[in-house]
Amino acid sequence: MVGSAQTPSPDSSNNQSGLLLIISGPSGVGKTTITHKVKDATNGRFSVSMTTRAPAAGDREGEDYHFVDQMTFNKTRDAGELLEWAEVYPGCSYGTPRQPVEQAVASGELMILEIDVEGAIQVKKQMEHAYAMFVLPPNENVLLERLRARARDDEAAIARRFAKAKAEINKAWDCGIYDDFIVNRDLNRAVDEAVALVQTRLSA
Ligand code: 5GP
């Protein structure tokens, strides 16, 4: 299921020196590592998403996510307080609280959203100057091996994640909203490339 875009507010995605950075990519591609390195190298800040998924071991409320029930999520969404939202997995909705993002960008900060393609499309509709980056695996076999190597899931769950990852990659190419695609062949190189691209945007 796809979240519908909220009422557009004025585009504040690159007011002053602030920048809204969207990083997407399929699960298992190394996106979270790249995102954290970009944040550290650029003094950026993460948006804390709201989600209805259950906290996993090690998840910190208010730092990794705001964990809420479906009713709270729906109320927040219906009040227009989410910049974007999507049902990323069946029964698990995720959304970006609008106000912290708008405030950070308006005061000149770099705000980083690690969100899926549906969410990224909604953000770009409202904030056309947002800079969107998509992290790709070198090929499908590498992605499948990385999903297996995480040893989190059984083979059926790995197959589901793999199918979803391939669909996410196709959607990212087709939707036309991504400014840059980074191929994660070698993690250090992918990080260097991502950091350099973001720094170029920040100094533009
Ligand atoms: P996880 O449950 O593994 O932390 O996240 C699953 C996926 O949800 C990630 O790949 C991430 O891109 C996506 N996601 C996390 N937060 C948001 C959000 O606020 N909005 C959207 N659209 N996707 C999100």
The alpha carbon of 115 and the centre of ligand 1 are apart by a number of angstroms equal to 5
> Do 5 and 125 touch, CB atoms closer than 8 A?
yes
Q: Which atom of ligand 1 is nearest to the CA of 59?
A: 4
Third-level CATH fold of 19-47+109-203 = Rossmann fold (3.40.50)
Confidence at 154, pLDDT banded by 50, 70, 90 = confident
Indicate the SS3 state at residue 7: coil
The alpha carbon of 88 and the centre of ligand 1 are apart by a number of angstroms equal to 7
Among 48, 114, 117, 143, name the best residue to mutate to test ligand 1's pocket (greatest count of ligand atoms within 8 A of Cβ): 114
Q: Who lines ligand 1 at CB under 6 A?
A: 24, 27, 49, 53, 84, 86, 88, 94-96, 114-116, 118-119
* Nearby residues of 88 by Cβ (< 8 Å), 6 or more positions away: 94, 116, 118
Give pLDDT, residue 183: 97
Distance CA 80, CA 6 (A): 6
Helices assigned H by DSSP within 24-154: 31-42, 70-78, 98-106, 117-126, 140-149
Distances (CA, A) of 201 to 3, 18, 65, 74, 130: 28, 10, 27, 35, 10
> Do 18 and 109 touch, CB atoms closer than 8 A?
yes
* Nearby residues of 51 by Cβ (< 8 Å), 6 or more positions away: 65, 66, 67, 68, 73, 92, 93, 94, 95
**pLDDT tens for residues 58-101?**
999 999 999 999 999 999 999 999 999 999 988 999 999 999 99
Distance CA 58, CA 36 (A): 16
Q: Which atom of ligand 1 is nearest to the CA of 92?
A: 2
Q: Whose CA is nearest to atom 21 of ligand 1?
A: 115
Domain boundaries, the chain: 19-47+109-203
Confidence at 17, pLDDT banded by 50, 70, 90 = low
Q: Whose CA is nearest to atom 14 of ligand 1?
A: 115
Helices assigned H by DSSP within 79-154: 98-106, 117-126, 140-149
**Cα-flanking dihedrals φ and ψ of residue 172, to 5°?**
-65, -40
Q: What's the one-letter identity of residue 58?
A: G
* Nearby residues of 126 by Cβ (< 8 Å), 6 or more positions away: 5, 6, 8, 9, 11, 83, 84
The alpha carbon of 86 and the centre of ligand 1 are apart by a number of angstroms equal to 9
The alpha carbon of 161 and the centre of ligand 1 are apart by a number of angstroms equal to 14
Q: Which atom of ligand 1 is nearest to the CA of 24?
A: 12
**pLDDT tens for residues 19-68?**
999 999 998 899 999 999 999 999 999 999 999 999 988 999 999 999 99
